Amino acid sequence: MASQSFTRADGSPKTVIVTGGAGGIGAQTIRTYHSHGCNVVIADLPISKDAAETLISSLPDPNRAMYYPTNIVDWVNMREMFKAVVKSFGQVDVVVANAGMMESENFYDFEFDEEGELKEPRGAYRTVDVNLKGTMNNKDGARGSVILIASTSGYFGGTGVVGYISSKHGVVGLCRSSQRKANEFGLRVNVVAPFFTPTYITGEYSDAWRKRGLPANTVEDVAKAVVETSMDPQRKGHSVMVAGKVVREIETVLNGMTKQWLGEEIADVMVAGGKFFDEMGGYPMPKPRPE
């Protein structure tokens, strides 16, 4: 951590926004940044107000913390949150897009209405909205560092939780697709992908997991990885997987194995295609279809 700075060039503390910061991994992330002298902002739902205020009051210097009621899928709300943070602390240096959810019903547990028609899987759709659209809303055009919280589910999909797994794959894709513009803006966008961590969404099986003797994260493990990744100037487009006490950067490893899993011929075509779009200055967007 010696090479990582928690202060701005003028010596003032950096300001960190953590969405979903009132509990679980988010709350520990708030505590960890605060312990390093940062200003911290808990951006969480209005129902989290009491938890957020309790967390702030527990910090050694509550004057370096604030809570802003935030619904991450509401663009106007997010825009106003960023304005309020800049007004209070001058600028935003780090954003941790931590807020997320998991559906409560299995996508394939088909339900039918009174007419025998298949019901819309609203829980899965809501999960995609929060985890992906909400994560996409964590931008304000400023320079600095953005941490997207994915999951091992962003790379694997065997548990069958359709909305959650699909959205976390989307978060990984968001990081990958953001790198060109991030470099132009002087912004570092990285992923932290936790393995099993005892939180609210894992509550239904946490005890059985522990009894099986399987490795687990603590919220402290994940928060430490988030903070270190966000402050490391060498991290650009990386994905840091946290699995118990094992922390690995996996995105560059996957990139390095492209020829092994695609074969050299296809891998070379992919590289050539990437170079083609680089030379064009990016992907030319199609014109909107007539409505």
Q: Over the stretch 46-64, which tens digit does the pLDDT of each residue have? A: 999 999 999 999 999 999 9
DSSP secondary structure code for residue 37 in this structure: T
N- to C-terminal Cα distance for the chain? 54
Q: pTM to 2 decimals?
A: 0.93
Give the model's pLDDT for residue 198.
78
CA distance 289 to 287: 6
Give the model's pLDDT for residue 211.
87
DSSP secondary structure string, 190-255? EEEEE-S--SGGGTTTHHHHHHHT-----HHHHHHHHHHHHH-TT-SS-EEEEETTEEEE-HHHHH
Going from N- to C-terminal start, the domains of the chain cover 15-250, 257-291
Bridge partners (DSSP) listed for residue 112: 118
Within 10 A of 104 (CB to CB), how many other CB atoms are there?
A: 11
Domain 15-250: give its CATH code: 3.40.50.720
Q: Do residues 32 and 224 touch, judged by C-beta distance below 8 A?
A: yes
CA distance 119 to 122: 8
Average pLDDT by stretches of 10, the chain with 291 residues: 76 97 97 98 98 98 98 97 96 96 90 92 93 89 88 90 95 95 93 88 81 87 96 96 92 92 94 92 91 85
Give the model's pLDDT for residue 140.
72
Give the model's pLDDT for residue 197.
84
Give the model's pLDDT for residue 1.
42
